[in-house]
A and B are shown apart, each in its own frame.
Chain A
Amino acid sequence: MKDSERRGTHTEKAIPVRKKNLQLLNILPFAVFLACYAFAPRVVNDAQLTTIIYIGIYALLAVGLNLLMGYAGQVSLGHAAFFGVGAYTSGILTAKPIANEVIPGVSAGVGVISAVAALLLLTKPSGWKLAVGISLLVALGWLHNLPNLIPVLCAACAVAVMGIFGLMAKLQWMRTCLSGVVLTLVANLSKWFLKGTLERGSASPWTGLLVGVFLTAVISYLIGSQVLRLKGHYLAMATLAFGIIVEIVFRQWTSVTGGSSDGIFNIPSIQFFSYIPGFLRRLYEAAAGGSVDLRTQYYYLVWAFVFIAIVLAVNIVRSRVGRAFRAVHSSEQAAASLGVDTARYKVQVFVLSACMASVAGTLHAHNAGIGYIHPSEFGFIVSVELVVMVVLGGMASVWGSLFGAAAIQTLKDRLLDLEKTNPEFWGLKLQGLDPIVFGAVLIVVMIVLPQGLVRGFSDGVALLWRSARRSGRQQGVN
Chain B
Amino acid sequence: MSVGLSVDLLAQVPQLVISGFTRGCIYAIVAVGFSIIYNSTQVINFAQGEFVMIGAVVAAVLLSKTSLLVAFPTAVAAGCLAGAVVALFVLLPLKRASVVSLIIITIGTSIMFRGLAQLLWGEAAIPAPPFTGVVVQGYVEDREFHFLGAYIRAQELWVMGVTALLVVGMHIFFRRTILGQAMRACAINQLGARIVGINVRRMIMASFVMAAGLGAVAGVVVSPVFYAKCNMGTALGLGGFCAAVLGGLGNFAGGVAAGIILGIVESLTGGLLWSDYKDAVAFVILLVILLLRPEGVLRRRAEA
Nearest A residue to B279 via CB reads A248
Q: Do B287 and A384 have beta carbons less than 8 Å apart? A: no
Question: Which one of A75, A436, A441, A447 contacts B116 once the chains associate, using CB atoms below 8 Å?
Answer: A436
Cβ–Cβ < 8 Å partners of A180 in chain B: none
Q: Do B93 and A450 have beta carbons less than 8 Å apart? A: yes
Interface size on B, residues (CB 8 A): 47
Report if A58 contacts B (CB, 8 A). no
Report if A417 contacts B (CB, 8 A). no
Q: Do B103 and A249 have beta carbons less than 8 Å apart? A: no
Q: Do B114 and A7 have beta carbons less than 8 Å apart? A: no
Q: What is A's interface to B at a CB cutoff of 8 Å?
A: 1-3, 6-9, 69, 73, 75, 77, 226-227, 229-230, 232-234, 236-238, 240-242, 244-245, 248-249, 252, 380-381, 384, 387, 391, 395, 428, 430-443, 446-447, 450
Q: Do A428 and B120 have beta carbons less than 8 Å apart? A: yes
Q: Do B103 and A248 have beta carbons less than 8 Å apart? A: no
Question: Which one of A69, A232, A430 contacts B119 once the chains associate, using CB atoms below 8 Å?
Answer: A430
Question: Which one of A75, A244, A438 contacts B111 once the chains associate, using CB atoms below 8 Å?
Answer: A438
* A–B Cβ pairs within 8 angstroms, 29 of them: A9-B96, A69-B100, A75-B104, A227-B287, A227-B290, A230-B291, A232-B99, A233-B103, A237-B245, A237-B286, A245-B283, A245-B284, A252-B276, A252-B280, A387-B107, A430-B119, A432-B115, A434-B115, A435-B114, A436-B111, A436-B112, A436-B119, A440-B108, A442-B108, A443-B89, A443-B109, A446-B93, A446-B104, A450-B96
Report if B238 contacts A (CB, 8 A). yes
Cβ–Cβ < 8 Å partners of A77 in chain B: 107
Q: What is B's interface to A at a CB cutoff of 8 Å?
A: 41-44, 46, 89, 92-93, 96-101, 103-105, 107-116, 118-120, 123, 190, 234, 238, 241, 245, 276-277, 279-280, 283-284, 286-287, 290-291, 294
CA distance A315 to B245 in the complex (A): 39
Nearest B residue to A450 via CB reads B101
Chain B CB within 10 Å — which of A238, A241, A380 has the most?
A241
Chain A CB within 10 Å — which of B107, B241, B287 has the most?
B107
Chain B CB within 10 Å — which of A234, A237, A438 has the most?
A237
Besides the known contacts A230-B294, A387-B107, A437-B115, 5 further A-B residue pairs in the complex with CB atoms under 8 A apart = A1-B190, A237-B241, A435-B115, A438-B115, A442-B108
Contact status of A232 and B103, CB under 8 A, knowing A8-B98, A249-B280, A439-B108: yes
Cβ–Cβ < 8 Å partners of A238 in chain B: 286-287, 290-291
Chain B CB within 10 Å — which of A69, A73, A227, A439 has the most?
A439
Cβ–Cβ < 8 Å partners of A244 in chain B: 234, 238, 280, 283
Question: Which one of A69, A226, A241 contacts B238 once the chains associate, using CB atoms below 8 Å?
Answer: A241
Q: Do A443 and B112 have beta carbons less than 8 Å apart? A: yes
Q: Do A384 and B101 have beta carbons less than 8 Å apart? A: no
